[in-house]
Amino acid sequence: MTIRARIGVLVPSGNPTVEPELYRMAPSGVTIHFARLDSGAGAPGTPEAIEQRTLGYLHALPGAVRTLADLKLDAVVLAHTGVSYVNGVAGEPALATQLANLAGTRATTAAGAIAAGLRRLGVKRLALATPYPPSISEAGRAFWEASGFEIVGYRRLEGVANIYDETEDRARTLARAADVPTADAVLVSGTGLPTAGIIEGLEQELAKPVVTSQQASLWRALRLARVADAVPGFGRLLREPG
Is 240 part of a structural domain of the chain? no
Q: State how far the Cα of 5 lies from the Cα of 31, in Å rounded to an integer.
A: 6
Q: Note the pLDDT of residue 45.
A: 47
Same domain, 53 and 100: yes
Is 201 part of a structural domain of the chain? yes
Is 237 part of a structural domain of the chain? no
Same domain, 144 and 51: no
Same domain, 149 and 137: yes
Q: Note the pLDDT of residue 27.
A: 97
Same domain, 206 and 220: no
Q: Note the pLDDT of residue 160.
A: 86
Is 207 part of a structural domain of the chain? yes
Q: Note the pLDDT of residue 44.
A: 54
Same domain, 81 and 193: no
Is 241 part of a structural domain of the chain? no
Q: Note the pLDDT of residue 101.
A: 95
- Which CATH number goes with the domain that contains 166? 3.40.50.1860
Q: Note the pLDDT of residue 153.
A: 98
Per-residue model confidence as pLDDT tens for the chain (242 residues)? 789 999 999 999 889 999 999 999 999 999 999 999 987 655 554 455 466 777 778 888 999 999 998 999 999 999 999 999 999 999 999 999 999 999 999 999 999 999 999 999 999 999 999 999 999 999 999 999 999 999 999 999 999 888 889 999 999 999 999 999 999 999 999 999 999 999 999 999 999 999 999 999 999 999 999 999 999 999 999 999 87
Is 192 part of a structural domain of the chain? yes
Is 239 part of a structural domain of the chain? no
Q: State how far the Cα of 36 lies from the Cα of 56, in Å rounded to an integer.
A: 13
Is 238 part of a structural domain of the chain? no
Same domain, 128 and 182: yes
Q: Note the pLDDT of residue 54.
A: 74
- Which CATH number goes with the domain that contains 54? 3.40.50.12500
Same domain, 118 and 196: yes
Same domain, 103 and 34: yes
Q: Which domain holds residue 122?
A: 114-212
Same domain, 28 and 119: no
Q: Note the pLDDT of residue 50.
A: 62
Same domain, 151 and 189: yes
Count how many domains the chain has.
2
Q: Note the pLDDT of residue 46.
A: 47
Same domain, 101 and 175: no
Q: State how far the Cα of 76 lies from the Cα of 78, in Å rounded to an integer.
A: 7
Same domain, 170 and 219: no
Rg over CA atoms, the chain = 16
Q: State how far the Cα of 88 lies from the Cα of 136, in Å rounded to an integer.
A: 11
